[in-house]
Structure 1
Amino acid sequence: MPQTITRGYKTLLDEANAKIETLPAADAIALHGREDVVFVDLRDPRELEREGRLPGAVHCPRGMLEFWVDPESPYHKPVFAQDKTFVFFCAGGWRSALSAATAQDMGLKPVAHVQGGFTAWKKAGGPIDGGEPPEL
């Protein structure tokens, strides 16, 4: 008998987006470089190599988020203990919505995520380091 999923990813995303702040890419770009804001890149290392990086962003693989945020965890990262605003992003905004909601549920605040993720950031003209050159 197949599994019966009662709350799919669309429901989880709707629930996450209902309780977190979502920043359009242009608003996120306006925050870039501020001392009181930490951008958190949740993408896989292969995505970073292929697409490039947001300058100054902290890379936190999605699978490590809860362990890096919690000061009781042996994997805790001090960056998450700072009194700053944490802006999460991924490639398209799904992982970042779920991550921002999780971090907020854990007590991290304030948090937000970038609507449309790194893809929207690039389209809006946000700064990027690296990435593979486009195919000619």
Structure 2
Amino acid sequence: MQDSTANVERFDWLDEIRWTDDGLVPAIAQDANNGDILMMAWMNRASLKLTVAEGQAVYWSRSRGKLWRKGESSGHQQVLKDIRLDCDADVILLKVEQKGGIACHTGRRSCFYRTLQDGQWVSAEPVLKDPNAIYGSN
């Protein structure tokens, strides 16, 4: 008799991740070419499996309560180049190729565009594309 699990994909590697109580793990997207940190989002088991299977970033949107394929609205997809787990097994690092050069919904390359100067957060990165041109006006 043939083993019934022989043809089933294995996801034991997901069990090594220290998920939050609500089943999430923070994921940092980093530019695979120059090392820039682009954004941080949340992943659940399903989004991480899809990211690996599809080769592009899929996150869990806490505000929408559903899977979110990066770039589904903007076209600015993140193509997966490498995936890493930190030493505590509680943060995922996605090394990606950022399509369109914009990772942030504000129209900037990175979500980390503000810098602390004299006790105030100051924008240090320009808007590359008007968000209304990316997503349409609401």
Shared fold per TM-score greater than 0.5: no
TM-score normalised to structure 2 length: 0.25
Query: Which is richer in strand?
Result: 2
The alignment's TM-score, normalised by the length of structure 1, stands at 0.25
Structure of larger gyration radius = 2
Higher relative contact order (CA 8 A, sep 6+): 1
